């Protein structure tokens, strides 16, 4: 049986122990500071006699330390990765403060807390709206600033039932371990926490999504929250510098840029249409047997599509077979006015795109795609013209 030193002093970083059993790289000690994980908190890591501890597992009364290599020593000295443990304790308490506040303020029950790297997530039983979440975040931070002691108590079941925001599982071992923060939270928990709320540092909500009829809320606490805000601020500074404004002006500048892009796009389309109009009129006048074939060299796809629109926006019965060639290959677009039910361009398109070694598709009145064999373009267009004629 392993004596659980981690429950006696959550701030101890090193310990001595004797090996009581040893199976390959799995080590059982008479006592340990290594928390095996539980209640959503991952296990501790660190080293034993300078060999890395890669996993810690609870096995009945024993704690198994999975070592990177086998250790033959009888007496050992263990050292925790303290930064990791401290951050996990900050995150775990931060989650209690937030979940306790969400329960007190909005009667939202939370479940399935999980700490994964710098992220804490919890699920609520009912949908949580953002205002309620942010109110609870604020209350959690208020409790941090009050620096309230975190107590671990073992009350009787009647008291647990009266005060706890959730009940322990049916198979819980008595006595029930309660983590209590006066005025904020009272909950059964097997995890480790910092000893006062102030040390949780900060609780910051980062996102929320719908999950199984409730919400999944993501938060960051303590050092992880600070690191996140630091990287967020670095991004904000870049945006401030690019947009030449303070952070309060970023959104307004983005709205202005979006509206300018919209206007420029409309202007660009109108200019292309104006330049293409005489070409389109000429092509319509000279259509052979109601078919237009036209190849544009060095034009981008947008220009070809604008020309296609000019050629097909009137129901004149004409079929347009357009192609654009540039360095990346060949783009084709075949079609007619959408009310022209006598024509289905797909068989012609299929033949042409096969010859071009490309891919694409569409409807009976408009099909488009890209191919690589631009040298086969004449063959492809001839095959398409024959297919339309037949
Ligand atoms: Zn907990």
What is the Å distance from ligand 1's center to 190 Cα? 6
- pLDDT of 327 over the 90 cut: no
- pLDDT of 160 over the 90 cut: yes
In 10 A of CB 328, how many CB atoms?
Answer: 10
Of residues 138, 183, 139, 180, the one with CA closest to residue 159:
180
B/e letters for 81-108, b = 16+ CB within 10 Å, e = fewer, are beeebbbbbbbbbbbbbbbbbbbeebeb
- pLDDT at res. 222: 98
Give CA 94 to chain center in angstroms: 21
Of residues 383, 347, 345, the one with CA closest to residue 364:
345
- pLDDT at res. 315: 87
Sign of the dihedral defined by the CA atoms of residues 153, 80, 49, 57, in that order: positive
What is the Å distance from ligand 1's center to 45 Cα? 19
What is the Å distance from ligand 1's center to 97 Cα? 10
CB 221 within 8 A of CB 203: yes
Of residues 195, 12, 41, the one with CA closest to residue 4:
12
Q: Mean of the pLDDT values across residues 233-259?
A: 96
CATH topology of domain 3-80: Elongation Factor Tu (Ef-tu); domain 3 (2.40.30)
What is the Å distance from ligand 1's center to 371 Cα? 59
Residues 6 or more apart whose CB falls under 8 angstroms from that of 201 comprise 90, 94, 144, 221, 222, 223, 225, 226
CA distances from 329 to 292, 302, 324, 368 (A): 21, 15, 8, 14
Give CA 365 to chain center in angstroms: 40
Q: Mean of the pLDDT values across residues 4-26?
A: 96
Q: Mean of the pLDDT values across residues 352-361?
A: 95
- pLDDT of 253 over the 90 cut: yes
Of residues 64, 76, 83, 81, the one with CA closest to residue 25:
64
What is the Å distance from ligand 1's center to 99 Cα? 10
- pLDDT of 370 over the 90 cut: yes
- pLDDT of 224 over the 90 cut: yes
**Structure confidence at residue 211 as a pLDDT band (50, 70, 90):** very high
- pLDDT of 367 over the 90 cut: yes
* pLDDT 10s digits, 21-64: 999 999 999 999 999 999 899 999 999 999 999 999 999 999 99
What is the Å distance from ligand 1's center to 119 Cα? 15
Q: Mean of the pLDDT values across residues 183-209?
A: 97
**What is the C-alpha to C-alpha distance for residues 141 and 121, in angstroms, rounded to an integer?**
17
- pLDDT at res. 173: 79
What is the Å distance from ligand 1's center to 130 Cα? 23
- pLDDT of 109 over the 90 cut: yes
**What is the C-alpha to C-alpha distance for residues 217 and 119, in angstroms, rounded to an integer?**
10
What is the Å distance from ligand 1's center to 200 Cα? 13
Q: Which two tokens stand for residue 83?
A: 């930064």
Task: Write the DSSP assignment of 183-233 as a string of letters.
Answer: TTEEEE--S---SBGGGG--EEEEEEEEETTEEEEEEEEHHHHHHHHHHHH
- pLDDT at res. 330: 94
CATH topology of domain 277-389: Diaminopimelate Epimerase; Chain A, domain 1 (3.10.310)
- pLDDT of 231 over the 90 cut: yes
Q: Which two tokens stand for residue 201?
A: 């540092």
What is the Å distance from ligand 1's center to 136 Cα? 17
Which CATH number does 86-240 carry?
A: 3.30.980.10
What is the Å distance from ligand 1's center to 84 Cα? 17
- pLDDT at res. 13: 98
Q: Where are the domains of the chain?
A: 3-80, 86-240, 277-389
What is the Å distance from ligand 1's center to 121 Cα? 12
- pLDDT at res. 168: 86
CB 319 within 8 A of CB 333: no
Give CA 72 to chain center in angstroms: 44
What is the Å distance from ligand 1's center to 92 Cα? 6
Q: Which residue did the predictor score with more confidence, 172 or 138?
A: 138
- How many residues belong to the chain? 390
Of residues 195, 42, 171, the one with CA closest to residue 114:
42
What is the Å distance from ligand 1's center to 96 Cα? 6
**What is the C-alpha to C-alpha distance for residues 124 and 72, in angstroms, rounded to an integer?**
48
What is the Å distance from ligand 1's center to 294 Cα? 70
For the chain, the distance separating the N- and C-terminal CA atoms, rounded to the nearest angstrom, is: 88
**What is the C-alpha to C-alpha distance for residues 336 and 343, in angstroms, rounded to an integer?**
8
What is the Å distance from ligand 1's center to 18 Cα? 30
Q: Do domains 3-80 and 277-389 have the same CATH topology?
A: no
**What is the C-alpha to C-alpha distance for residues 345 and 75, in angstroms, rounded to an integer?**
83
- pLDDT of 102 over the 90 cut: yes
- pLDDT at res. 316: 87
CB 361 within 8 A of CB 369: yes
- pLDDT at res. 311: 95
What is the Å distance from ligand 1's center to 181 Cα? 12
Q: Mean of the pLDDT values across residues 269-277?
A: 93
């Amino acid at each position: 049986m392993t004596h659980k030193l981690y429950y006696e002093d959550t701030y101890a970083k090193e310990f001595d122990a004797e090996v009581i059993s040893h199976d390959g790289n799995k080590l059982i000690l008479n006592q340990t500071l290594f928390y095996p994980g539980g209640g959503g908190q991952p296990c501790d890591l660190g080293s034993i006699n300078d060999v890395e501890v890669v996993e810690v597992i609870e096995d009945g009364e024993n704690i198994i330390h999975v070592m990177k290599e086998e250790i033959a020593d009888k007496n050992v000295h263990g050292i925790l990765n303290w930064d990791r443990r401290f951050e996990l304790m900050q995150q775990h308490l931060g989650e209690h403060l937030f979940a306790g506040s969400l329960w007190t303020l909005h009667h939202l029950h939370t479940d399935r807390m999980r700490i994964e790297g710098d992220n804490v997530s919890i699920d609520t039983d009912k949908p949580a709206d953002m205002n309620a979440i942010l109110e609870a975040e604020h209350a959690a931070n208020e409790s941090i600033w009050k620096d309230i002691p975190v107590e671990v108590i073992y009350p009787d079941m009647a008291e647990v039932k009266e005060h706890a925001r959730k009940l322990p599982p049916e198979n819980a071992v008595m006595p029930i371990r309660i983590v209590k923060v006066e005025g904020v939270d009272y909950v059964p928990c097997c995890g480790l926490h910092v000893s006062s709320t102030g040390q949780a540092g900060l609780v910051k909500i980062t996102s929320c999504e719908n999950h199984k009829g409730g919400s999944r809320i993501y938060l960051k606490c303590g050092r992880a929250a600070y690191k996140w805000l630091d990287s967020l601020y670095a991004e904000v500074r870049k945006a401030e510098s690019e947009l030449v404004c303070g952070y309060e002006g970023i959104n307004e500048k983005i709205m202005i840029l979006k509206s300018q892009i919209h206007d420029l796009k409309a202007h660009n389309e109108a200019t292309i249409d104006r330049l293409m109009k005489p070409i389109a009129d000429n092509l319509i006048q000279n259509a052979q047997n109601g078919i237009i074939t036209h190849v544009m060299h060095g034009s981008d796809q947008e220009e070809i599509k604008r020309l296609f629109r000019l050629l097909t926006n009137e129901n004149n019965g004409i079929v347009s077979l357009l192609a654009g060639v540039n360095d990346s290959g060949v783009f084709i677009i075949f079609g007619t006015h959408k009310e022209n039910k006598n024509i289905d361009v797909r068989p012609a398109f299929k033949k042409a795109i096969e010859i071009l070694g490309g891919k694409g598709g569409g409807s009976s009145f408009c099909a488009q795609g890209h191919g690589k064999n631009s040298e086969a373009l004449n063959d492809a267009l001839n095959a398409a013209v024959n297919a339309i004629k037949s």
